[in-house]
Amino acid sequence: MAMWVFGYGSLVWNPGFAHDARLVGFVRDYRRVFYQGSTDHRGTPEFPGRTVTLEHQPGATCVTLLSHMFFVDVLRDLLIWGVAYKISTEQDKQTALEMVI
């Protein structure tokens, strides 16, 4: 059975794992938060850098600086755009999980 991974941010441009298909799309009812600490590509063990994580929240909106500056369409701001990757082999699934968890 295939596994799907929703990528946003840097995963859109460079997922770092093999995949069989790639679909552009969006998710609703999630918000972006800087909750996850990271030492692999920013920060140190003593002071982990912050990376964006998606957190489920019914009715959540994704408000951006651009929407305030240029009055971008409100509906577009309610969505978080990204790419869904289809992964079929067990080895590729394991690699993807190690990258995103």
Write down the pTM of the prediction. 0.65
Q: Quick check: 22 pLDDT over 80?
A: yes
The more confidently predicted of residues 83 and 79 is 83
Q: What percent of the chain has pLDDT over 90?
A: 17
Q: Quick check: 87 pLDDT over 90?
A: yes
CA-CA distance, 101 to 83, in Å (whole number)?
Answer: 17
Q: What is the DSSP string of 67-83?
A: HHHH---HHHHTSEEEE
Residue for token pair 């920013």:
42
